[in-house]
Copies of this chain bind each other. A is one copy, B any other.
Amino acid sequence: MIARVTVTLKTGILDPQGKAIEGALKSLGVAGVASVRQGKVFDIELDGADRAKTEAALKEAADKLLANTVIENYRVEILG
């Protein structure tokens, strides 16, 4: 199974990276950019075909390692 975990900063948490990228896009003249926030994705291949089990494993992975839940939220999707 292939899954994706997307980790994004919680609202209100400063995102220096996003801020710098926003500035760069503006000075490159990309039209209309108002704000940028950066996050991470993890594309994970898993053995086994049990959807529920896989989801549980991914949630565990995100909680334990992939996301810093003090400042980040995450979402788990099974892609197929």
Contact = CB atoms under 8 A, between A and B. Distances in A.
Interface of A: 6, 8, 18, 21, 24-25, 28, 30-48, 53-54, 57, 60-61, 64-66
Given A8-B41, A33-B57, 11 more contacts: A30-B60, A31-B48, A32-B46, A32-B47, A32-B54, A33-B44, A33-B46, A34-B44, A38-B40, A39-B42, A39-B43
B34 A45 contact: yes
Contacts of A60: 30
B25 A61 contact: yes
B32 A42 contact: no
Given A65-B24, A66-B21, A36 B30 contact: no
